[in-house]
Chains A and B, each alone.
Chain A
Amino acid sequence: MADAALDRESGGGSVRIMDGVIATPELATPPAFSSTGPGYDFRKAVRTLLSDMRRDWQLYVLLAPMIIWFVVFLYTPMYGLQIAFKQYSLFRGIEGSPWIGFDNFVALFSNEYFLRAVKNTLLISFYSLVFAFPVPIVLALMFNEIHHQGFRRIAQTITYLPHFISVVIIAGLVVSFLSPTTGIVNIILDRLGFEKIYFLTIPEYFRPIFIGSNIWKEAGFDSIVYLAAIAGINPALYESARMDGASRLQMIRYITLPSLLPVIMIMLIIRVGQLIEVNFEYIILLYQPATFETADVISTFIYRAGLQNNQYALGTAADLFNAVVALVLVVGANWLSRRYSQHSVW
């Protein structure tokens, strides 16, 4: 596949622009075929391409394993997406299975559990946007107002740590903290005279638990990007504001926040581009049939349908739906970003 792409590029006219660094001997060749008509440009382009490739053969050797890896492990599954339109059977394989058009999608969209999963995915993403997105911004502003460098560094380091802890541990912590018998939360509730609650079996609690523990895990680490942006603000702005008698809150309000706005916009756009993607690996650890009602998302639906119940074609149809929506969102988000902040997210 990569080779095909390479060949296609050789036909294009713009390729010469790219090898700028080292002059090729071909450039010095006298234009012997200058009068051979319109075909000459193409042939010469092919010849220079081949000689460039021969010159850089070592680079292609270095590149080859990586290209093979991407083709084998990421592009071959894309080819496998076709089973979304097939009646897939393990024995006939991807190519041998008969085409059935959109039947899998019809089945998918008439499956109430799938529709529920789409709804849950969007709701979890939306609530995360509302509740989790602002936290790192506030945290960065708060870090910035700490002037004791030692405390600040230690505080930052500690809040970054949960980002590097596996979701299995995080889920284990959540499960043990919320345990109805021995969990610390219920022990406190009990001592305060309230009823003990088995949080993880109650659908209403799932989203707050999921989003809350995600904030705990990621807010500190996510604040890095805002802190970097704050570090780039011109200190003269604060000095002159201070001369004018601005309070610290006013400086945050009128200097720091407005300076952060472009970064906030970009991060917001990136998040919008990821609306359809939630951390399903974490959900699988936290949910149970009792909470599917609010916890089951597209990817967990696919996991159960495809990997646990062997409904490969149905799962793949959901995968394709997921992938296409994700792509559309990302491209749309990037278009927005280019439009409103003059630079592309990627």
Chain B
Amino acid sequence: MSSRALTSDTSHEPFNLYTRGDRIFGFANTALLLLFVLSTLYPFIYILSASLSSGFAVTSGQVTLWPVDVTLAAYEYVLADQKFWIAYGNTLFYAFFGTITSLLIMVPGAFALSRARLRGRRVIGFMIAFTMWFHAGLIPFFLNVRDLGLLDARLGIVLAFACNAFNVILLRNYFESVPASFEEAARIDGASDFQLLWKIFIPLAKPAIITVALLCLVSRWNGYFWAMVLLRSEEKVPLQVYLKRTIVDMRSDDSFASGLMSTDYSFETITAAIMVVSILPIVIVFPYVQKYFNKGITLGGVKE
């Protein structure tokens, strides 16, 4: 692959200036990078294989790359667990409503902040950016959520993590980069600020808004710490907390692992199956996240 790559690159050159050393370098570089890529991929392949192998094959160390004694027993076990479905449903709930709430608060706010005629925008903008450099920390945040009566509440999870300064600034920069002529034209047609946002700026800022939505979605999907701290009831807990309890906490709990003794599935294959099922949505949306992420960030940084 690498040699073809090199020749295709030099084909547009008037003459080939690659020396032998360059070719060796190119080959070594490709090989090293391939190694890095494979080592990135390997853990994913391994858990996929482990989740599809029999419990005995995994515990006896036969599985290293491909599945051994292929079986869906681990998936059957996981998908039959009611707690798993509750947690999955909760995560969908938090991801959906959390992202909607984030957009409802941050998009209009960032739009207002992007208007140069807004009095006080400098001070407000600074106050928002300041939260990136100074945060009160775990305990004051926790006590505040408790004082608001949002402990062990779904609303608390949705609301308390709705905004962050980074996303607000990303959106504001994007709105600022919209040429002033759009606003002037809309003004001449008698548009109000609400109409300006809804009809002109939201359609124009779609890449930035989708970027922020995807960032919110991924962070909602992956967040576990505050859900673990703030939620007490089992039926409100999202997937990541369920995962943490099963994968990390249960590992030390021998009674759980030994209670599972069956040759078809084991503790290892079950955790592998849970991991696969919870990574899957991320892998599916990942190409879009990546595309919009690059686009949104670069466009957001560009000013007129």
Contacts and interface: CB of A to CB of B under 8 A. Distances in A.
Interface of A: 2, 5-6, 8-10, 15, 18-22, 49, 52-53, 56, 58-60, 62-63, 65-67, 69-70, 72-78, 80-81, 83, 93-94, 139, 142-143, 145-148, 151, 154-155, 157-162, 164-169, 171-173, 175-177, 179, 181-182, 184, 187, 190, 216, 220, 224, 228, 242-243, 245, 247-249, 281, 284-285, 288, 299, 302-303, 306-307, 312, 315-316, 318-320, 322-323, 326-327, 330-331, 346
A319 B8 contact: no
Contact of A148 (B1, B139, B287): B1
Interface of B: 1-2, 4-6, 8-9, 13, 17-19, 21-22, 25-26, 29-30, 32-34, 36-37, 39-41, 43-44, 46-47, 50, 58-59, 61, 64, 104-106, 108-113, 115-124, 127-129, 131-144, 147-148, 159-160, 162-163, 168, 180, 183, 187, 192-194, 197, 218, 221-225, 229, 240, 243-244, 247-248, 251-252, 268, 271-272, 275, 278-279, 282-283, 286-287, 289-290, 294, 298
Contacts of A81: 136-137, 140
10 contacts: A9-B120, A19-B119, A21-B183, A62-B112, A70-B163, A73-B163, A74-B136, A168-B222, A181-B59, A243-B17
B124 A216 contact: no
Contacts, number: 299
Nearest to A162: B40
Contacts of A66: 105-106, 108-110, 128, 163, 168
A5 B133 contact: no
A72 B21 CA distance: 62
**Overall SS of chain A's interface:** helix
Given A146-B30, A169-B243, A177 B119 contact: no
Given A327-B133, A330-B133, A168 B247 contact: yes
Interface centre among A65, A77, A93 (most CB of B within 10 A): A77
Contacts of A169: 243, 275, 278-279
Contacts of B131: 70, 74-75
B138 A326 contact: no
